[in-house]
């Protein structure tokens, strides 16, 4: 036993995944929090000057640590303490945790009752027959509680919905595996359905003696969890659930292997999607959303944009051309919405078109919008009416916005000003502006991650910005003040015109 432990320890130092709390440095924690969705995943560090970006990063790290601790059921200290570091060394699933909270309003789902599956690539650890049995057993666990049928088809069959395989390091998708320990597997939501196991783990099939060793991993247990994703489930913050992100060691005194049962949280969540086996199959009511990180999804996204442009009437709307605009935001549907008075326009070809009352586009929304922005990470369009925060989910299947059920909220007191404009800085931060002050903001936690004097961080910004317009040029924004508009180059961090551009010139009505 001692020898085995020693071997395991010396082996572990070579791994890329952290295996001991002491190996969790700040950089390791930052990588961990980034890959599992707790920290701003935009690859470039803040483009603000280094003094300010260090302070901002420290505050964002603290918030990310708090989110992780809260999701994982640890005391929320915001500090990288020993229990937090220890949890970061646990074996776990590779799918980010934070999607769970942020994709409210959508459900990944198969829209048919018969789901075909196949194992395409095997591991040397487990025989082909046992691997196929493991997947079949794991699917049975789900099949007992929902009205879907799982049918195995030949490897490579074009009929397969769920394709299972083993892979190491960089493989066919955007999520490279990390060697032994750390991430064990990942799976894609419907309609993708792919499931990959990290072949750098030691996979074990139904062998209780082998499973007592930390270095070995239970194939069936991980398969049940991953197939939950393939069926549409996100991670659960119920630590006892099969869908909790962390691997549960199989410590059992029983002489025979027992297939891990679903927890009541898993059953409740999967039945919310598909109904129960007793009720029978429910026909599809919503179109599942594609997984965004695949090429296929990007193509879908492009088609959505084309669809919106083609579908919306050009011109149209009877609202008088506004003298001042309140703010604007580009939606994930590709359209840029400009708010003025109680109306919303679409900015098409640098012209304001298609005016409608705000509440006609944003149901149960504010009558007036004083600041607006889309968070690219959550895809929510966030509208402010003074200090009331609304959030909208774009539903591509119906081509409409739905209010997010957790909103409206009253803006956190920690934002010490009333926002007059909101925009996405080039590093992905959502920035709220008000007078000479700004805040970076997280709508899910309704909290600023940083508040400071604007001119200390955004070089050359006028102090009376009432709206920020994106003119379609990457890295460029238009800062709108009562005197007119100023172009701003976010890379060079400077205003590009000395005389303000008149309102009628940068956004004329058609
Ligand atoms: Zn998972
Ligand atoms: Zn993969």
Taking phi first (over 0 means left), then psi (-120 to 50 degrees means alpha), and beta for anything else, what does residue 341 get?
A: left
Residue 98: predicted pLDDT? 66
- Judged by its nearest atom, the ligand closest to the C-alpha of residue 174 is 2
Residue 325: predicted pLDDT? 86
Residue 107: predicted pLDDT? 74
- Residue 96 Cα, ligand 1 centroid: separation in angstroms? 8
- Residue 2 Cα, ligand 2 centroid: separation in angstroms? 35
Question: What whole-number percentage of the chain has pLDDT above 90?
Answer: 38
- Judged by its nearest atom, the ligand closest to the C-alpha of residue 227 is 1
- Going from the C-alpha of 276 to that of each of 50, 152, 244, 273, 284, the distances in angstroms are 55, 22, 21, 9, 15
* Residue predicted with more confidence, 26 or 117: 117
Average pLDDT over residues 143-165: 95
Residue 465 structure tokens: 């910005």
The total number of residues shown for the chain amounts to 510
Average pLDDT over residues 462-466: 85
Cα three-residue angle 412-418-422, rounded to 5 degrees = 90
Cα–Cα distance measured from residue 389 to residue 382, given in angstroms and rounded to the nearest whole number: 7
* Residue predicted with more confidence, 20 or 186: 186
Cα–Cα distance measured from residue 293 to residue 453, given in angstroms and rounded to the nearest whole number: 36
Residue 59: predicted pLDDT? 79
- Going from the C-alpha of 104 to that of each of 234, 269, 403, 429, 452, the distances in angstroms are 11, 13, 10, 21, 31
- Domains, the chain, ranges and CATH? 16-89 (1.10.101), 102-274 (3.40.390.10), 299-506 (2.110.10.10)
The widest CA-to-CA distance across the chain, in whole angstroms, is: 81
User: How many CB atoms are closer than 10 A to CB 256?
Assistant: 7
* Residue predicted with more confidence, 102 or 412: 412
- Residue 38 Cα, ligand 1 centroid: separation in angstroms? 15
Q: What is the pLDDT of residues 51-69, one digit of tens each?
A: 666 777 777 888 889 989 9
Strand 202-204, strand 216-218: pairing? parallel
| DSSP-assigned letters across all residues of 493-506 | TEES-SSPBPHHHH
- Residue 231 Cα, ligand 1 centroid: separation in angstroms? 12
Cα–Cα distance measured from residue 479 to residue 466, given in angstroms and rounded to the nearest whole number: 8
Residue 130: predicted pLDDT? 97
**pLDDT of 106 strictly over 70:** no
Nearest partner of 282 among 163, 118, 143, 146, judged by Cα = 146
Q: Omega before 408 cis (within 30°)?
A: yes
Residue 105 confidence class, pLDDT cut points 50, 70, 90: low
Residue 143: predicted pLDDT? 96
User: Annotated binding site, which residues?
Assistant: 93, 125, 161, 171, 173, 178-179, 186, 196, 198-199, 201, 225, 229, 235, 243, 327, 372, 421, 468
Among candidate residues 62, 120, 152, 226, the one labeled active-site is: 226
Residue 287 confidence class, pLDDT cut points 50, 70, 90: very low
* Residue predicted with more confidence, 169 or 107: 169
- Residue 174 Cα, ligand 2 centroid: separation in angstroms? 7
| DSSP-assigned letters across all residues of 159-211 | T-SEEEEEE-SS-SSS----SSSSEEEEEPPTTT--EEEETTSEEESS-HHHH
- Residue 164 Cα, ligand 2 centroid: separation in angstroms? 10
Question: What whole-number percentage of the chain has pLDDT above 70?
Answer: 84
Average pLDDT over residues 3-17: 34
Q: What is the pLDDT of residues 226-251, one digit of tens each?
A: 999 999 998 998 999 999 999 987 66
Catalytic site includes residue 296:
no
- Judged by its nearest atom, the ligand closest to the C-alpha of residue 246 is 1
- Judged by its nearest atom, the ligand closest to the C-alpha of residue 168 is 2
Nearest partner of 241 among 69, 33, 37, 73, judged by Cα = 73
- Residue 226 Cα, ligand 1 centroid: separation in angstroms? 6
Instruction: Say what the pTM is.
Output: 0.59
User: Annotated binding site for Ca(2+), which residues?
Assistant: 125, 161, 178-179, 198-199, 201, 327, 372, 421, 468
Q: What is the pLDDT of residues 215-224, one digit of tens each?
A: 999 999 999 9
- Judged by its nearest atom, the ligand closest to the C-alpha of residue 224 is 1
- Residue 189 Cα, ligand 2 centroid: separation in angstroms? 12
Residue 202: predicted pLDDT? 97
- Residue 243 Cα, ligand 1 centroid: separation in angstroms? 6
Q: Which residues contact 355 (CB under 8 A, 6 or more apart)?
A: 316, 317, 318, 319, 343, 344, 345
Cα–Cα distance measured from residue 439 to residue 384, given in angstroms and rounded to the nearest whole number: 14
Residue with tokens 């965004």: 292
User: Annotated binding site for Zn(2+), which residues?
Assistant: 93, 171, 173, 186, 196, 225, 229, 235, 243
Nearest partner of 348 among 369, 368, 362, 333, judged by Cα = 333
- Residue 165 Cα, ligand 1 centroid: separation in angstroms? 16
- Judged by its nearest atom, the ligand closest to the C-alpha of residue 164 is 2
- Residue 152 Cα, ligand 2 centroid: separation in angstroms? 20
Residue 252: predicted pLDDT? 66
Strand partners, 144: none
């Amino acid at each position: 036993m001692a020898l085995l432990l020693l071997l395991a320890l010396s082996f572990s130092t070579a791994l890329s995944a952290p295996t001991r709390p002491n190996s969790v440095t700040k950089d390791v924690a930052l990588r961990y929090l980034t890959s599992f969705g707790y920290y701003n995943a935009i690859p470039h560090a803040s483009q603000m000057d280094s003094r300010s970006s260090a302070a901002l990063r420290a505050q964002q790290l603290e918030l990310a640590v708090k989110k992780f601790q809260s999701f994982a059921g640890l005391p929320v200290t915001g500090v990288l303490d020993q229990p937090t570091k220890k949890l970061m060394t646990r074996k776990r699933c590779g799918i980010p945790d934070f999607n769970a909270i942020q994709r409210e309003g959508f459900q990944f789902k198969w829209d048919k009752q018969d789901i075909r599956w196949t194992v395409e690539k095997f591991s040397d650890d487990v025989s082909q027959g046992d691997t196929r049995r493991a997947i079949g057993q794991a699917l049975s666990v789900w099949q007992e509680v929902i009205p879907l049928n799982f049918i195995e088809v030949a490897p490579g069959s074009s009929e397969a919905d769920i394709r299972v395989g083993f892979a190491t390091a960089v493989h066919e998708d955007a999520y490279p595996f990390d060697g032994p320990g750390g991430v064990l597997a990942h799976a894609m939501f419907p309609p993708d359905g792919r499931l990959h196991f990290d072949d750098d783990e030691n996979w074990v099939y139904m062998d209780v003696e082998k499973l007592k060793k930390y270095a070995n991993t239970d194939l069936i247990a991980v398969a049940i969890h991953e197939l939950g994703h393939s069926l549409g489930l996100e991670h659960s913050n119920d630590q006892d659930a099969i869908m909790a992100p962390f691997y549960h060691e199989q410590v059992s005194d029983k002489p025979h292997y027992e297939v891990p049962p679903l927890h009541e949280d898993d059953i409740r969540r999967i039945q919310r999607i598909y109904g129960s086996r007793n009720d029978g199959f429910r026909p599809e009511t919503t179109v599942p959303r594609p997984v965004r990180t695949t090429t296929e999804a990007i193509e879908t996204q492009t088609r959505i944009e084309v669809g919106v442009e083609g579908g919306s009437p050009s011109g149209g709307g009877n609202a008088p051309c506004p003298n001042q605009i309140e703010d604007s935001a580009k939606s994930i549907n590709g359209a840029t919405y400009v708010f003025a008075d109680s109306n919303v326009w679409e900015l098409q070809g640098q012209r304001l078109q298609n005016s409608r009352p705000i509440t006609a586009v944003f149901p149960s929304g504010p009558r007036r919008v004083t600041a607006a922005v889309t968070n690219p990470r959550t895809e929510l369009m966030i509208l402010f009416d003074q200090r009331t925060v609304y959030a909208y989910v774009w539903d591509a299947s119906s081509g409409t916005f739905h209010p997010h059920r957790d909103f409206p909220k009253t803006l956190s007191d920690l934002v010490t000003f009333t926002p007059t404009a909101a925009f996405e800085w080039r590093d992905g931060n959502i920035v709220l502006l008000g007078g000479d002050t700004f805040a970076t903001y997280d709508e899910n936690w309704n909290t600023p991650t940083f508040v400071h004097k604007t001119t200390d961080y955004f070089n050359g910004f006028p102090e009376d910005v009432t709206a920020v317009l994106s003119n379609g040029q990457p890295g460029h924004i238009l800062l709108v003040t009562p005197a007119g508009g100023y172009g701003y180059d976010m890379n060079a961090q400077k205003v590009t015109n000395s005389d303000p551009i008149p309102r009628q010139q940068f956004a004329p009505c058609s």
